[in-house]
Chains A and B, each alone.
Chain A
Amino acid sequence: MTLHADLRVTRGAFRLGAELVVQPGEVVALLGPNGAGKSTALRALAGLLPLTGGHIRLGERMWDAPPDVFRPAERRPIGVVFQDYLLFAHLSALENVAFGLRARGVGRAAARAEAARWLDRVGLAAHAKARPRTLSGGQAQRVALARALATGPELLLLDEPLAALDAATRLHVRAELGRHLRDYPGHTLLVTHDPLDAMVLADRLVVLEHGEVVQEGPPTEVARRPRTDYVADLVGLNLYRGTGHGTAVSLDGGGTLTVAAPATGPVHVVFPPNAVSLHPEHPAGSPRNAWRVTVAGIEQHAHTTRVRLDGVPPVLADVTTATVADLRLRPGDELWAAVKATEAHAYPS
């Protein structure tokens, strides 16, 4: 079953008009700046906000089609992880996870047993009796995820699921969330303003600006060929999948990168285009990563020039207009790209 959504919401001066199609097992990230309409889209899909036009349909079942059809949230097979989790403070972790099953008519004992299985799956079996306020941010996030998934929803909605976590916790929780999302057979929509979350977790990005979809595609595609300045600034990351062997990461698409912090197993390596420097000869000195590249394209953005470079691996570089002039950059030119190991970050995937 495929989720088809033509989300049209008009509220005052704000208009949302976005089409989304999500396949089973697919993770789609809705990415955009604040006020772009991401939350409105999520609320409409959840049934917390009725559409003013368009429709939401899962397979043959219509969820929302104004003015005739509206299935409220409690009658949609959904699970939502809210930004601040919204765990019920007076219930234990186990009772929080069991809540949805109880609300959907599962018996008390069966609901608690199923909830206990989910807590075990997210590694919190020991915290079943804990009240939400005694849990750390990462633990609360995992309880929220277990609560959303326990009812076996067809559509999983994640609203900035990592935004409330500090940087160190985030790394770990992101990797774990990715693992659960890969196991989840239903449709997933992830709303975020963090490009890294989107690129690491999602199979496809949908970029929303001013209530409209401005670009969509696989993460690497969107990163390589941003269509708006916003996308270029935000998503224009160099992102590679690879396997870590200490500080060396051999990339799935060929090539090797040296990173600052040692990593083992499957990882993502990320660095921003402005961390890439271009040289006519093999650079001397500190850069640990230097490889031969060919200029494939040059795009002028608001304040910088973005250079697309083919090589092993291919890479994006943001350089100043002065550098473009110095190097007399033209498509087809052969150069050396260099990235300091300290600029390249490896994330477990």
Chain B
Amino acid sequence: MTTTRRRTGGRLPVALVVPAVVGLAFLLVPLVGLLVRAPWGTLPTRLLSPSVGEALRLSLVCASLATVVCLVLGVPLAWLLARGDVPGRGVLRALVTVPLVLPPVVGGVALLFVLGRRGLVGQYLDAWFGVSLPFTTAGVVLAEAFVAMPFLVISVEGALRAADPRYEEAAATLGASRWLAFRRVTLPSILPGVVAGTVLCWARALGEFGATITFAGNFPGETTTMPLAVYLALETDPDAAIVLSVVLLLVSVGVLAALRDRWISGPS
């Protein structure tokens, strides 16, 4: 008898272990490389430089505004899909998830042709209100909301479908209208799902590139968010690109950690 650990299932098969390790390296090495190449010494000054600071501020503001838009429109939409008695609910649900799989650049093009100055809706916005959305900060918010909303809707709808509708019935027997029951009973019970959806939605909006550059263009201080700034800086100032990338990486890891601790790995 030895005291070494013994495996019950025999040796791990090489045919699985080798690709697994390669796959792991493939996912992690680029991120590690980014951290290795980061100019740590000058990082604080670069973060505070006008161009980086501007992109960072614009990104945070736009992603947060887009998230608010998604919450205001997305939570009621999720409720309609989960609880509403609407015909063709399955089809609606599928359509809502289209932006999730659609290449973002296609989303940007679609927005441009609808909300652009000559677009289906945009021409009236321009003629009646003098409002033009493309290539403005508002355009950035719209593009980000378009791409990020499905994350929120799916997350909230899942929480709603898992929530027992009989609590809403109990509220009704106590005299609560459906709106009151939603606010006071349903919403508090699905709060974890709403928070998870909001965080995912915000992270997606923060990283949005394709739809933003297509619909809102690239005007520093107005539409140049961090992902756009990274892409542009790569040509002129690679160190700045790395700094911006590290910031985005840290935000992503932070989001993941927040979700994992509070909402993903079961009850808190």
Interface residues of A in 158-177 (CB under 8 A from B): none
CB closest residue in chain A, given B177: A74
Scoring B166, B173, B177, B189 by chain A CB atoms within 10 A of each residue's CB, the highest score goes to: B173
B170 CB to nearest chain A CB (Å): 4
Cα distance A79–B188 in the bound complex, in angstroms = 23
Task: Render B155-170 as a binary contact track against A, CB cut-off 8 A, 1 for contact.
Answer: 0000000001011011
Q: Given contacts A89-B189, A90-B188, is CB(A99)–CB(B173) below 8 Å?
A: no
Q: Is A218 an interface residue (CB 8 A)?
A: no
Q: How far is the CB of B127 from chain A (nearest CB, A)?
A: 45
CB-CB under 8 A from B20, the residues of chain A are none
Question: Are A72 and B172 in contact, with the CB atoms below 8 A?
Answer: yes
- In the docked arrangement, what's the CA distance between A239 and B129, Å? 81
Given A82-B170, A90-B189, 16 more pairs with CB closer than 8 A: A74-B172, A74-B175, A76-B173, A79-B173, A86-B167, A88-B170, A88-B188, A90-B188, A99-B171, A100-B175, A103-B180, A147-B174, A148-B173, A151-B174, A151-B175, A157-B173
B-contacting residues, A58-75, CB 8 Å = 72-75
* Residues of chain B having any CB pair with chain A under 8 Å: 164, 166-167, 169-177, 180, 184-185, 188-189
Listed in ascending order, the chain A residues whose CB lies under 8 Å from chain B are 46-48, 72-76, 78-80, 82, 86, 88-90, 99-100, 103-104, 147-148, 151, 157
**Chain A residue at smallest Cβ distance from B176:** A103
Which chain A positions have C-beta within 8 A of B164? Answer: 86
Could you show 15 A-B contacts with beta carbons less than 8 Å apart? A73-B169, A73-B172, A79-B173, A88-B185, A88-B188, A89-B189, A99-B176, A99-B184, A100-B174, A103-B174, A103-B175, A103-B176, A103-B177, A147-B174, A151-B175
For A84, the closest partner residue in chain B by CB is B166
A252 to chain B, nearest CB (A): 37
How far apart are B182's CB and chain A's nearest CB, in angstroms?
A: 12
Are A104 and B167 in touch, CB under 8 angstroms? no
Contact B188 A80 (CB under 8 A): no
A104 to chain B: which residues have CB within 8 Å? 174-175
Beyond A86-B167, A88-B167, A103-B180, whether A80 also contacts B173 by CB under 8 A is: yes
Nearest CB of B to A72, in Å: 7
Q: Are B171 and A103 in contact (CB under 8 A)?
A: yes
Which residues of chain B are near A76, meaning CB under 8 Å? 173
**CA A78 to CA B172, docked complex, whole Å:** 10
For B170, the chain A residues whose CB sits under 8 A away are 80, 82, 86, 88
What A residues does B174 contact at CB under 8 A?
74, 79, 99-100, 103-104, 147, 151
Indicate if the CB atoms of B176 and A48 lie closer than 8 Å: no
- Whole-angstrom distance between the alpha carbons of A22 and B74 in the complex? 46
Residues of A within 8 A of B175 (CB): 74-75, 100, 103-104, 151
A114 to chain B, nearest CB (A): 13
Tell me the complex Cα distance, A76–B180, Å. Answer: 16
Q: Which residues of B contact A99 (CB under 8 A)?
A: 171, 174, 176, 184
Give min CB distance, B261 to chain A, whole Å.
21
Interface-centre pick from B169, B177, B188, B189 (highest chain A CB count, 10 A)? B169
- What is the CA–CA distance of A82 and B174 in the complex, to the nearest angstrom? 12
Q: Which residues of B contact A46 (CB under 8 A)?
A: 169, 173
Smallest Cβ-Cβ distance to B191: which chain A residue: A90
Complex CA gap A115/B243 in Å reads: 58
CA distance A148 to B174 in the complex (A): 7
Chain B residues with Cβ below 8 Å from A74 are: 172-177
